[in-house]
Amino acid sequence: PMYFFLKNLSFIDLCFISTTVPKSIVNSLTSDSSISFLGCVSQLFLLILFATSEFYVLTAMSYDRYAAICSPLLYELIMNKTACMRIAAASWLSGGLFGVLLSASTFSLTFCGSNAVQQFFCDVPPLVQISCSEVHIAIDMSVAAGFFLDAVCFIYIILSYIFIFSAVLRMPSSEGRTKAFSTCLPHLIVIIIFVFTGAFAYLKPPADSPSALDLLVSMFYTVVPPTVNPLIYSL
């Protein structure tokens, strides 16, 4: 099961980083820094789809590690092939649902002023910032629902790791403890970076002009996780 979820995570990471980085590289190498309306819609939808799917797959991986370390005798029963397929399908479907909700609610706004997106990709906060609509209840509701589910998943991940680390510390073998920590700690670090930078970008009050901090934060939740995941899990 761990390798099944790693395959899903690897594919999501490849798609996730391909959504933003190639276009930004082309923009930086040419004098044309524009993106078409359809391209912006597609980029936002795919960004939300892969970001949400990645977080739910990371949640599934924490459940997999919990079952493997805390219930090793029942592991094959809990994480059977059918359960893994259902969890992966639920992750992808949830990502698609939130992608449709946020994309539809964002582009239902009125854009009558500047069409310069103050970011290196199309994202919800900079698009809301350049819209002329003062009321965007649909976006607020979609973001609130997404972060509620993300908070539930994050709390579950933290509780899982509390049980995992307590079980690991009771292991008599130092080699076994090292192996468990080397598997779990990098996974937990990536999740924390992913969640907190994404929450900061979406929940902070909008600024009149972009700052270097905004660009740095967006790098941490769109580029850093899919870049470091292959390194972490290869090592």
Query: Tokens for 184?
Result: 């779990």
Alpha carbon distance 143, 160 (integer Å):
25
Whether the predicted pLDDT of 211 surpasses 80: no
- Position 192 scores a pLDDT of 86
Q: pLDDT at position 208, please?
A: 59
Sign of CA dihedral 32, 38, 44, 46: negative
Question: For the chain, what are the domain ranges?
Answer: 2-234
* Residue-wise pLDDT tens digits, 86-141: 999 999 999 999 999 999 988 888 888 778 888 888 888 888 888 887 777 878 88
Q: Is the pTM of this model over 0.85?
A: yes
pLDDT in the model for residue 209? 61
The model's pLDDT over 57-84, given as tens digits with 9 standing for 90+, comes to 999 998 998 998 888 899 999 999 999 9
Class of domain 2-234 (CATH, top level) = mainly alpha
pLDDT value at residue 65: 87
pLDDT in tens, 11-51: 999 999 999 888 888 888 888 888 898 999 999 999 999 99
Structure tokens that stand for 158 in this block: 């933290």
